A and B are shown apart, each in its own frame.
Chain A
């Protein structure tokens, strides 16, 4: 959609947006490009500033996956944790969001406000007492110790997002469904949910990315390598001599962690944007 004001040509008018697009793409991708370049240099010429890695080398990538780093396992752990957080958040958040969007009860705004306020407390101080609690109930070094605290930021944002989506859907939908003999629950499941799919999908992606990027909780709650997430493992890479910081393999690992997200973003960008515009509902 979105046509511009009549294209009354003029080369400047025609090419200015293109130039702008080029600038934006450069702005967004240059630092990322530098990360890739650094990843594909030989470790021995890591500090070269040439624009193309010469000679091209997979040594850093190999280092990332070499035995003992646990990076492959870390990727799997990240997937597991972020995936579970996403599913849990959606299941719990959908019910809450629908309730807040559709049911009328006293203190509704207060409830929403409380949910939003929870995302304001500095993360630093939330983690400490939770850590203590998890030590007591023997949850340290478990997946749930990473998953449950992640809900503290995932859930409020999912509820907030989904509530907005639901509110935009015409109330007549359920009314029509109920006239047709559906219970409210059925109306929700059979009519609302499919229609809200783009919004739910967007929320899922946003939640997943937030959980995938989470670092502090994973770092704090899990100390055994088999269960650490990829982000934690990257931060703990070391070079051969202990003091040296292996920027090359860190960059390589960074590329590897980011690429799945970039691919997901490329595949789903239409959906993400559709979800964001919320126009897809109608």
Chain B
């Protein structure tokens, strides 16, 4: 519950104005050895202790203590921001969501990462490294990644005699054919995450990128008032209007959508990899066990573009033992640890070659489409005021989807808003 995981943030309210300076060593040596703390979101896999004890047994003098932060991303960010603003050495290594990189880097709360001394970087999928950069410099090391995929009902597509779609138009045709089947009657065509929250930013960006548009261009300037972007947004808006996307999907976060898909109410579903294991559960919670498969996201004129998710590890600027912290990150970024983590938690690794391992592929059949998705994926805007930017994007997308504004108008307004927010 993000809600209440709340005002921790405010903490720093009165902290900012004292002892300016802080620990902002830029690109300097990472020094100091000894025990460190690792701040991470809730470990849902239960595998983290094993990883950490593997490190601790090898490094008795530099033991890692795990600090589990709240489950919600907001709650995690708040606690890390709080610790940073108070310039406390409470966390040495921070497990950052990809969208926080800019904020933490610009505030000099995390150390710059010397690329040369982190061998894992050359083995990581290049797109994941982008998410750890701010203004061309690296501030974190990619550990896990995440990309959207198209879950589809294999059984029904086969029955209707159609291939998994590569474009939105193909998806619509496939859907009509399936709906013509007795089993497909009244079924929803497609859904993603359209509730007004971070998931909407993700889905909106994917629609725009999938039509060849951008939200924020390579030059760091917003450029969302374009025909391409309009085509992308109109795909979603029209799908809502025609009922291809069920009305209820405007309230969907990941979980609501997963439920609909597992209940057999959806033919196509844009979702993260985590759904695969849950929808395959044989305890009766899923009605689509063995009946679905995954493909890369479709786009306007060809395969679509996913928005990048995932987590990167960064070194706190206020950590005492930065050398130990750097070593711990290297350890966690190693192929061995990444592979172990994938097997135990099914989180997508940053390490590229793991996706091609046949043994792993047998266990996680979605690895190939997932890799394709991540390799082509686009990061969300790397801006300091990410909270405001994503709120503006959600506002525009939600207004268009709920037909409060015409898509064109929504994009024009969004362009104005983003231009004033991204002035750097």
Residues of A within 8 A of B (CB): 43-47, 68, 124-125, 127-129, 131-132, 135, 215-216, 219-220, 223, 225, 235-245
Contacts and interface: CB of A to CB of B under 8 A. Distances in A.
B86 to A, nearest CB: 6
A240 B70 CA distance: 15
Contacts of B274: 241-244
A135 B86 contact: yes
Task: Kindly list the 10 A-B residue pairs having the minimum CB-CB distance in the complex, ordered from nearest.
Answer: A128-B10, A242-B44, A44-B285, A131-B11, A238-B71, A128-B13, A44-B283, A235-B1, A241-B274, A44-B284
A220 B10 CA distance: 10
Interface residues of B, number: 41
Given A44-B283, A44-B285, A132-B13, A241 B44 contact: yes
Given A131-B10, A219-B8, A242-B42, 5 more contacts: A44-B284, A47-B259, A215-B4, A219-B5, A240-B278
Contacts of A245: 1, 255
A241 B278 CA distance: 8
Contact of A243 (B68, B88, B272): B272
B42 A236 contact: yes
B86 A239 contact: no
B20 interface: no
Given A242-B42, A244-B255, A124 B10 contact: yes
Given A223-B79, A236-B42, A237-B71, A244 B258 contact: yes
Contacts of A129: 13-14
Interface in B33-67: 41-42, 44-46, 67
A245 B6 CA distance: 18
Interface of B: 1, 3-8, 10-15, 41-42, 44-46, 67-71, 75, 79, 82, 86, 88, 254-255, 258-259, 263, 272, 274, 277-278, 281, 283-285
B13 A43 contact: no
Contacts of A235: 1, 3-5, 70
Nearest to B79: A223
Contacts of B86: 132, 135
A132 B17 CA distance: 12
Among B10, B46, B272, B284, chain A packs the most CB atoms within 10 A around the CB of B10
Contacts of A135: 11, 15, 86, 88
A128 B7 contact: yes
Contacts of B6: 216, 219-220
A45 B10 CA distance: 40
Contact of B7 (A68, A124, A132): A124
A35 to B, nearest CB: 16
Contacts of B3: 235
A96 B1 CA distance: 39
B188 to A, nearest CB: 16
Nearest to B347: A242
Nearest to B44: A242
Contact of A43 (B5, B42, B71, B285): B285
Contacts of A240: 44, 278
Contacts of A215: 4
A135 B85 CA distance: 12
Nearest to B49: A68
A237 B75 CA distance: 13
B11 A128 contact: yes
A98 B72 CA distance: 46
Among A43, A125, A241, chain B packs the most CB atoms within 10 A around the CB of A241
Contact of B278 (A46, A237, A244): A244
Contacts of A125: 10
Nearest to B8: A220
B375 to A, nearest CB: 23
Contacts of B4: 215-216, 219, 235
A76 to B, nearest CB: 20
Nearest to A44: B285
A132 B272 CA distance: 38
Nearest to A234: B1
B254 A243 contact: yes
Nearest to A239: B44
A243 B82 CA distance: 24
A128 B8 CA distance: 7
Contacts of B7: 124, 127-128, 216, 220
A125 B258 CA distance: 38
Nearest to A247: B255
B44 A225 contact: no
Nearest to A43: B285
Contacts of B46: 68
Contact of A127 (B10, B263, B272, B283): B10
A265 to B, nearest CB: 24
Nearest to B75: A236
A244 B6 CA distance: 20
A127 B11 CA distance: 8
Nearest to B71: A238
B1 to A, nearest CB: 5
Contacts of B10: 124-125, 127-128, 131
B259 A128 contact: no
15 contacts: A43-B285, A128-B13, A131-B8, A135-B11, A220-B7, A223-B79, A236-B1, A236-B75, A240-B44, A240-B278, A241-B277, A242-B44, A242-B274, A244-B255, A244-B274
A43 to B, nearest CB: 7
Contacts of A44: 281, 283-285
Among B1, B7, B45, B69, chain A packs the most CB atoms within 10 A around the CB of B7
Nearest to B15: A132
Contacts of B283: 44
A240 B346 CA distance: 11
Contact of B14 (A68, A132, A216): A132
Contacts of A241: 44, 274, 277-278
B329 to A, nearest CB: 21
Contact of B285 (A45, A216, A238): A45
Contacts of B82: 131
